[in-house]
Amino acid sequence: MNRGAARFAPGVSRPEERGAVPPLRVAVVGTGEWWGRQHAELFAARTDTSLVAVVGRDPARTTARAQEFGARAYVDIDEMIGRERPDLVSVCLPNEAHFEPTLHLIRCGVPLLVEKPLVFSLDEAETLVAEAAARNLFVAINFNHRYAKPVRLAAAALARGDLGRLAFATWRFGGEAGTSRHPHANLIETQCHGFDMLEHLCGPITSVMAQLADPSGTGWSTLVVALRFANGAVGSLVGTYDSSYAYPDTHLVELNGTAGRVLIHDTVRRFSLQRAGDETAHVWRAGYFNDTDRAFHATFDRHVDDVLAALREGREPPVPVTAGRRALVLACAVIRSFEEGIRVSTVDQ
């Protein structure tokens, strides 16, 4: 499937349909073949943005990526900012290389959209959040799972009270490992989506208890966490790098309340809502022509719609940098719980 074509599939408003506006000048920092390419492709394809620059460490690779999308190549952030004056910089770097470039960009005072995880160190997260706050700077983080159609349907069902009082929530997600060498890579760089989505849907997590395993011998690559929410519900989070993304239901979310249950399958694949005592469920799956809602990459496009609207209107980001810090706070509490064998409070952290 052509990801660019999916962005403006039927049912998705085009930028020109939302009113003619001058395109925002966007630079992408990062030249990775996965999400780095996705960032560049998205901002080059939109009519309300202009991809003016790509910044990378390797001159040849950076030039190739910039030429691919009609932008200029830079290996120096300061030079790029001075020459291009971007309205927004999108940061998509290797997971363990986020801190220094992000801090530098914040100190330059340029609005940012950063990839998850924010960082791996809570001290570094505190620094980034404090530096952004001191400048009243627009800094968004890409927790794009929130923008999947099944997740939006689940949030609407909860808001309407369709589930009654929430009893429990479960999150399971995992596949193969990435390139990170951090012993808690799965917890911090992948399950950050779980912490963010569970709090987005169910409210604050107030405590955690954890068990971690190392079946592959490369770090704590599989984990299970018991959760308590401020609303009295309980939950579980299971994450792993010792599985496969090829498996059906590699991602599964269950929200069970006194009046009904919601299931989310593979983030974008399927949503179901079933009332207690009713053997018939209300099910959503993307229709034949609905390439946008069936495509995981399009969750990023939908998030960017909201990011750009907020930036233009002078509002806070739809998913602010503090959400990245919060996910790391919860991850650090999980590590402490496992290492000390205790339940750890996450209130007011």
Segment 180-206 mean pLDDT: 97
Nearest to 13 by CA among 292, 312, 271: 292
165 in Cβ contact with 309 (< 8 Å): no
> pLDDT grade, residue 7 (50/70/90)?
very low
171 phi/psi in degrees, rounded to 5: -130, 130
Q: Which two structure tokens, joined as six digits, stand for 310?
A: 């907020």
d(CA 144, CA 33): 18
Q: Is the pLDDT of residue 224 over 70?
A: yes
d(CA 55, CA 289): 36
> pLDDT grade, residue 349 (50/70/90)?
confident
Q: What is the pLDDT of residue 158?
A: 98
Nearest to 136 by CA among 304, 305, 321: 321
d(CA 48, CA 304): 11
The fold for domain 3-144+313-320 equals Rossmann fold (3.40.50)
End-to-end Cα separation, the chain, in angstroms: 43
267 in Cβ contact with 295 (< 8 Å): no
> pLDDT grade, residue 33 (50/70/90)?
confident
Q: Is the pLDDT of residue 8 over 50?
A: no
| Assigned CATH for 146-295+324-345 | 3.30.360.10
pLDDT tens per residue across span 140-164: 999 999 999 999 999 999 999 999 9
Q: Is the pLDDT of residue 14 over 70?
A: no
Q: Is the pLDDT of residue 186 over 60?
A: yes
Q: What is the pLDDT of residue 45?
A: 96
pLDDT tens per residue across span 253-305: 999 999 999 999 999 999 999 999 999 999 999 999 999 999 999 999 999 99
Give the start-to-end residue ranges of the domains of the chain.
3-144+313-320, 146-295+324-345
Three-state secondary structure of the chain:
CCHHHHCCCCCCCCHHHHCCCCCEEEEEECCCCCHHHHHHHHHHHCCCEEEEEEECCCHHHHHHHHHHCCCEEECCHHHHHHHHCCCEEEECCCHHHCHHHHHHHHHHCCCEEECCCCCCCHHHHHHHHHHHHHCCCCEEECCHHHHCHHHHHHHHHHHHCCCCCEEEEEEEEECECCCCCCCCHHHHHHCHHHHHHHHHHHCCEEEEEEEEECCCCCCCCEEEEEEEECCCCEEEEEEECECCCCCCCCEEEEEEECCEEEEEECCCCEEEEEECCCCCEEEECCCCCCHHHHCCHHHHHHHHHHHHHHHHHCCCCCCEHHHHHHHHHHHHHHHHHHHHCCCEECCCC
The pLDDT mean for the chain works out to 94
129 in Cβ contact with 137 (< 8 Å): no
